[in-house]
Structure 1
Amino acid sequence: MLQSREKKIIEILLDSQSPVRIIDLAVQLNVSKRTISNSINHLKTCLSEYGATLVSKQSLGIWLELQEDIDEFRSRIFNDVCIEEDDHNRWSTIAQNLLEINESRTIDDIAESFYLSNSAVYRELVKIEKFLEKYSIVLKRKPKLGIHVEGSETNIRIAKAELIKFRSGELITTSLLKDLTDYFPNTLLEPIIASVQTIQQNNDISLSYIAMKGLIIHLAITVNRVNKNKRVVLEMKDLEFLSMQKEWTIAQKLVQELNHNLDTSLDDEECGYITIHLMGANLSKTVEAPQSVKLIDIELYEKIEKIVGSLSDKINIPFIEDEYFMSVLFLHIKPMINRLKNGISLHNPFIGNIKEEHPLMFELSAEFSRKLSDQFNVEMNDDEVGYIAMHFGGAFERARKLEQRKLKVILVCASGIGTVMFLKAKLENLFPEFEIVGEVSSFKLNIEKHQIDYDLIISTIPLDIQGEPIAYISPILTERDISKINLRKSQVDNTRGSKLIPLLHESISVFDEKVQDQNDAISILSNIMFKQGFVDHEYRDSCLLREELSSTFIGNMVAIPHAYHGHVLNQGIGLLVSKKPFDWNGAKVQLVFALAIDLKSSQDFGDIANEIITLVNQVDVLDKLFQTKDLRSFKKFIK
C-alpha cells in the first residue's frame, strides 16, 4: 500500500517524457532529497505487485517501466487507498480500505500494511466502528478469517465519500483536480469534471465550489464501483418517485455524458442515485422573489417562516421581514433536508471561525436547527448549523443601516448563496465605500469580469489570475482579512467596558470543585443558579439538550454551557473552576461559564461570548484563573 507522497511521485513520473532527477522531485513536492530517496526505495520494493518497475541511474534520473497498459496501471495505483502520514487521520484511511475491498482482512495484515502494531490497529477499529454505525454499516469479525464490512451499496458509497470529505474538506485550491488528486486518478476526474461543467452550462444551473466538489466525489466513487460491478439497488416505488423530480432530467443528461466520456454503463438505478445527490444540492443560479420561492414547497416555507418568526420575536431582530434572507434560507434548507434524509452531509471548513467570531448567530442557528430537526426527524451536526448561521449572520448584518457605497467589488465564493449573502452584507456594512457589482463562481470569473465594471476582486478561494487587484479572505471576514483589504478601518471599540465581570456573582461561583464530567458540571451550576433565582428548574435539562446538538467546549479547557431560549429569570453567569481537568464530550475542561443571558439582549450575548473567547486565547491568563480560589482573585485576572 502506497503513501500519498509516493502516489504523487508516480504521477510525476508518468507525466514526464524523460527521466526525472531526485532534486527535481524534492522541489516539486517541497520535501528533502533524503525523503524522496526513502520513498523511492519503498517504491522499488512494492511496485512489482502493480506490474511496474522503478529504474534509477545516477547520471540520468528515475523512470518507470510498465508491464501493462498505462491507463490500467493508473487505475490500479490511484484506486488503491493511500496511507496518510498524519496519524490523526489514520483510522479514516483504514476505513476507506475496508470499504473498498471485497474480502476479509486479518489484524496482522492490516498492521503490516499500515506499519502499525496489532494493539494500534484495535484502537483504530474502535474509531472506525463508531464512524460506520452512522451509515448502518457493520464491522464483522470472523475467527481466523479477519474483519470485513457489511452494508448496503448506497451506504458504503456515502461513507466512502464522507471519508474523502473528512480528509480533504478544508482544502480549497484553484482546481478540483488538485483537491482530489490523492483520491482518484486524473484520467477519471477530468472527464467527470468536464461532464458536470457541460451539464451546468447547457442547463443554466450553478453549483458552488463545495457542492461541485461533493458531487464530483460521489460521481467518481459511483463510476469506480459500477466498473467493479457494485451497483445500487433502488425499490421501484423510490425509482418512480425520483423519476418525477426535476433533477431526474439533469441526472439523465449527466449519465449520458459519463457513459460516453468514460465508457461505463450507468443504468436507471444509478441515475436515481445521482438524482438523490442533485436533490441535495442547490442548483439555483439566482435567488427568486419570496412569493416565487414559496410556491416551490408551501408547507416547508411556512414551517421555516414560523420558526424564524418565533426567533425574531424572542431576540427583537426582524429576520422575518428580510425577504432576501427568507428566500435564500428556504433554498438552503430544502436540499439540506433531502441530503440529511439520505445520510449525506456537507463539511464546513469555516465552522471554527463561525463559532468563535459569531457566537450569537451560531446559538440562534442551533435553536433554529433543533426545531427543524424535531419537525423533519433529521440529525444536524455543527457543520450544518454553521451554514445556517451564515444565513442568519447575513440577515443580522443587513439589519444594520447601510450607507452609500462607491468602490465597485466582485465577490468570488466557494460555498454558494449562503456565503455570498453573509459576506456581501458584512462588507457593505463595514465598508460603506463598497458597491458589490457581481457575485460569481471561480469557473465563470474569466468570462463575467470582462462584462462588469469593477475596481476590486474579493475572493474566498485561490484564483488562477495574474495582474488583477484581488484580496483573498475567508468567508467569515476576520480582522486579519480586513487588514488584507487594506482599508484603515477599526473593527473593535476599545472604549467599551467589560460586560462579563458584572454578571459574575459570588453566590453562583464554585471553586476548587471535584467534577466527574460535563453532566456533573452542568448539574452543579444549574442547582446553585436555580436556588439563587437566576434560572428556572428546567434550565439544567435545556443545557443538556443543547449539549447533545453541539458541544459548548470552546478550547483551552473552557466550556460555556447554556440553555435554549427561555429559562432565565435574572441575568448572570455561573462560574466553576475545578480541581483538575475533567471530560467534556471528549475534551478536557477545567473552567466553566454557565450563561444565563436573555437572548433579547442579543448585543450583550454576542459581546459576552466574544469576551470569553478572547480570554480563552490568553493562555497565560487562563493558567492563573485555573488556580484561583475565590471570585475576587478571578475578576482581578480578567480585568
Structure 2
Amino acid sequence: MIVLDKKSSALLSYLTSLDEPETVMAISKHLGQSRRKIYYHLDKINESLPDDVEKIVSFPRVGIVLNEEQKEACRQLLEELDAYSYVMSSRERIQLVLVYIAVADSRVTLEKLMQLTEVSRNTVLNDLNSLRERLSLEQYNVQIHVTKTRGYYLDAHPLAKIQFVHRTLYNIYTTESDSFQKIMHDKIVEFTDYETLFCPAKLDYLRQLLDETKKELGKKLNTQDSEFMFNILPYLLMSYRNMVISPDERKRLEKEFLLAKERIEYHIAECMAKGFEDKFHVAYDDVEISIIAMLLLSFRKDKDSHNYSSDFDAMREVIKSFLDAFEKRYDLSLEHKDELINQLLTHCKALLYRKTYGIFSLNPMTEQVKSKYGNLFAMTKSCAHILEEAWFIQLNDDDIAYLTIHLGGALYHIGAQDRYQPKVIIVCDEGIGSRKFLLKQCQRYIPQARIEAVFTSEQFNSVRDIVAADVVIATSDGIETKLPMLVVNPVLTNDDIIRLVSFVYSNGKRTHEDLAQDLDQLLGHYVKDESERYVLRNQLEKVFRDELLRDLK
C-alpha cells in the first residue's frame, strides 16, 4: 500500500514538473522542507516506484531530474492516492474539519471528527485549537462553538458565514491537490446527506437548466467559473441549511440580497430552482435562490448582451475616463476602443458584485503578468484610482492584473506577412481579456502565422469537424481534435514561447521532445552513462532555449 503524506506528495508533484536538474538544497528551499526531509521523502517515493523503474537519485553537483519513464511512474502514483492511502497533513485535516462543521446536517461530536479524520482524540483537539486560532485572524468574525445540543458549529453573521465558506472552498479548489479535493468530497458524502441533495444526476440537471436559460440570460458564464460554481454550490447551500437563524436575522439576510433580486440572474435562479423542485421534489427557499443568483452575478462572463442597457451608462463613462487617462498619461493609443470598453464593462460588472458580496477570487496569472509585463502592470495600477473612487471599491493586485491583460490585448499589434502563413486556431476558456491577450502574444511571437479564430472550448467543439487549420493552440488539454495541438499558459512562459515557435512553424510536426531525442542520439556517441547523458542534454537545451529567447525578444 502506498503511504505518502502531504509533504511526500508535494515533492512527488514538484519532481514531475522539473525539466532541468535541481539540487536538493534548491528543492528544500522551494518546498520549505529540510534537506534531511527531502531525502526521507525521496526514499519513500523510491519504495513506492515499480521494480522495473529506475530509482530517483541526486547526482553530485548536479541535482535531481526525472527521465520520462520516472515521470510517468510518479504521475501514476499521484493518481492512485485515495482516502485509504493518502495521509492528510495537519493543514488538510483542519480544512476538512472546517468544511464538515460548516455543512454538517446533524450534531457534530468529537467522536465524529475522530472518525472523519482517522486520528486520535488528542490530535482532533489540537486541530480544533489550531482552527480557533486561525479563525481569530480572519476578517469574517467567524467563531467555533460547542454545546451539548448542537455539538460543534460555526457562529457568525449569516452572510459572513457564506462568504467565509466560499473563500475556504475557493482556496481548496485552487491551491490544494486533486487528491485532497477528492478525499474531502468523499468524506462529506460519507458523513452527511450530500447525496440525497446533490447526487451527480441532480448536479447534471442543474447544469442542464443553466444551459437552457443562457438565451434568456443574455450572458455566457466563463466555462471555468461555471464548473467551479457546481463544485462549491452544494457546500454553500448546505452551509446555509446548517445555520440556526432567527426571524430577524433572516429578514436582514434577505435584505442584503435585495440588490441581487433586481437583476435577471435572480429570475434565472428562480427558474432553475423551480425546475429542480419539479423533477426531484427538493425545494429551495428565497435565500438559497439568492445564493445561486449571487454566484451567477459574481462570476466572469464571456459575453453579455445587456451591456448597452442604459442601466450601465454611468459605468461605461467611468471606464472611458479610465482609458482616456491611461492613453493621455503614457501617450499611447488603444486599438478598437469601443470593443475594449465593452469587454471591460462585462468584466467590471462581475467585479463589482464580487466586491459587494465579498466573493473571494484569485487571479492565477497575477505573478506572470507582474513578472513579464511589469511596466504595463504599473501603468495600469497608476490609473486604477479612477475606478476605485467612482465605485467606492479597493482593487488588489489580482484585479489590476486582469485589467492589465485587457489593456495589453489592445496595445500590441503586429501586421500579417506576405509569405506563407501556417493557419492557427486558438482555444482558451480563461475569459475575454485573456483570450485577446493570448492572441496578441501569438501575433508577437509567431508573426508569420495566420490566426484563423479564437474560440472557447465549447465553441471549438461545435465546429471542430469543419475548421480549416494547421495547428491548435489551447490553454487546456481537455480539447478533442485530430489536428496537432499544443497546450500553453494564457500568459506565455519562456518555455511556452519556445515550444510555440517550434510547433507552429513545423505545422505541429516538431516538438521539444524531438529536439531532446536528436540531442540524446548525438550525445550517445560520447556519453555512455544514460543518467549523465540526460543531465547534459538538459543543460544543452537550456543554452539553446536562452539563446532563442534573446532573438525572439
Matched, 1:303 2:344: no
Q: Distance in 1 between matches of 2:284 and 2:137?
A: 32
Give the partner amino acid of 2:233.
Answer: L
Counterpart contact for 2:414–2:443, Cα < 8 Å: no
Matched, 1:194 2:187: no
Matched, 1:246 2:244: no
Q: Distance in 2 between matches of 1:364 and 1:206?
A: 30
Structure 1 residues 215-364: aligned runs within 5 Å: 215-225=229-239, 233=250, 235=252, 241-283=259-301, 285=303, 293=308, 295-319=310-334, 322-364=337-379
Matched, 1:31 2:70: no
Q: What is the aligned partner in structure 1 of residue 410 from structure 2?
A: 395
SS at match of 2:84: helix
Deviation track 1:440-492 (CA, whole Å, cap 9, x = no partner) reads 332343212234333322111122525332110000012211222243899xx
Aligned residues: 418
Distance 1:190 1:34, change over 3 A: closer
SS at match of 1:31: helix
Q: What is the aligned partner in structure 2 of residue 463 from structure 1?
A: 478
Q: Distance in 2 between matches of 1:423 and 1:276?
A: 29
Give the partner amino acid of 1:98.
Answer: I
Structure 1 residues 474-493: aligned runs within 5 Å: 474-487=489-502
Distance 1:328 1:271, change over 3 A: same
Query: Please, what TM-score do these two structures have when normalized by structure 2?
Result: 0.62
Give the partner amino acid of 2:415.
Answer: L
Matched, 1:125 2:132: yes
Distance 1:112 1:228, change over 3 A: closer
Q: Distance in 1 between matches of 2:259 and 2:126?
A: 48
Q: What is the aligned partner in structure 1 of residue 547 from structure 2?
A: none
Counterpart contact for 1:414–1:460, Cα < 8 Å: yes
2:437 to 408, 422, 429: 422
Deviation track 1:274-298 (CA, whole Å, cap 9, x = no partner) reads 222222234453689xxx6484512
Deviation at 1:359, TM superposition (A): 1.5
Q: What is the aligned partner in structure 2 of residue 516 from structure 1?
A: none
Counterpart contact for 1:164–1:183, Cα < 8 Å: no
Query: Please, what TM-score do these two structures have when normalized by structure 1?
Result: 0.55
Q: What is the aligned partner in structure 2 of residue 95 from structure 1?
A: 98
Counterpart contact for 1:402–1:429, Cα < 8 Å: no
Distance 1:120 1:349, change over 3 A: same
Q: Distance in 2 between matches of 1:105 and 1:367?
A: 52
Counterpart contact for 1:110–1:121, Cα < 8 Å: no
Counterpart contact for 1:168–1:180, Cα < 8 Å: no
Counterpart contact for 2:302–2:431, Cα < 8 Å: no
Q: Percent identity?
A: 15
Counterpart contact for 2:304–2:346, Cα < 8 Å: no
Counterpart contact for 1:474–1:481, Cα < 8 Å: yes
Give the partner amino acid of 1:447.
Answer: S
Counterpart contact for 2:486–2:503, Cα < 8 Å: no
Deviation track 1:579-638 (CA, whole Å, cap 9, x = no partner) reads xxxxxxxxxxxxxxxxxxxxxxxxxxxxxxxxxxxxxxxxxxxxxxxxxxxxxxxxxxxx
Deviation track 1:82-105 (CA, whole Å, cap 9, x = no partner) reads x97355555433432332347676
Counterpart contact for 1:172–1:179, Cα < 8 Å: no
Counterpart contact for 1:307–1:371, Cα < 8 Å: yes
Deviation at 1:239, TM superposition (A): 5.8
Deviation track 1:250-301 (CA, whole Å, cap 9, x = no partner) reads 222222233345432113332233222222234453689xxx6484512122
Q: Distance in 1 between matches of 2:114 and 2:382?
A: 43
Structure 1: tracts of 5 or more residues without a match = 6-22, 41-82, 491-639
Deviation at 1:335, TM superposition (A): 1.5
Q: Distance in 1 between matches of 2:304 and 2:258?
A: 29
Q: What is the aligned partner in structure 2 of residue 535 from structure 1?
A: none
Q: Distance in 2 between matches of 1:418 and 1:34?
A: 37
Q: What is the aligned partner in structure 2 of residue 160 from structure 1?
A: 165
Deviation track 1:185-215 (CA, whole Å, cap 9, x = no partner) reads 6455433333333333675642212221332
Distance 1:198 1:152, change over 3 A: farther
Counterpart contact for 1:138–1:151, Cα < 8 Å: yes
Structure with the higher fraction of residues in strand conformation: 1
Counterpart contact for 1:242–1:248, Cα < 8 Å: yes
Q: What is the aligned partner in structure 2 of residue 214 from structure 1?
A: 228
Counterpart contact for 1:294–1:301, Cα < 8 Å: no
Deviation at 1:328, TM superposition (A): 1.0
Distance 1:107 1:427, change over 3 A: same
Deviation at 1:401, TM superposition (A): 4.0
Counterpart contact for 1:461–1:472, Cα < 8 Å: yes
Q: Distance in 1 between matches of 2:504 and 2:455?
A: 26
Give the partner amino acid of 2:209.
Answer: S
Q: What is the aligned partner in structure 2 of residue 366 from structure 1?
A: 381
Structure 2: tracts of 5 or more residues without a match = 6-48, 51-72, 190-198, 506-553
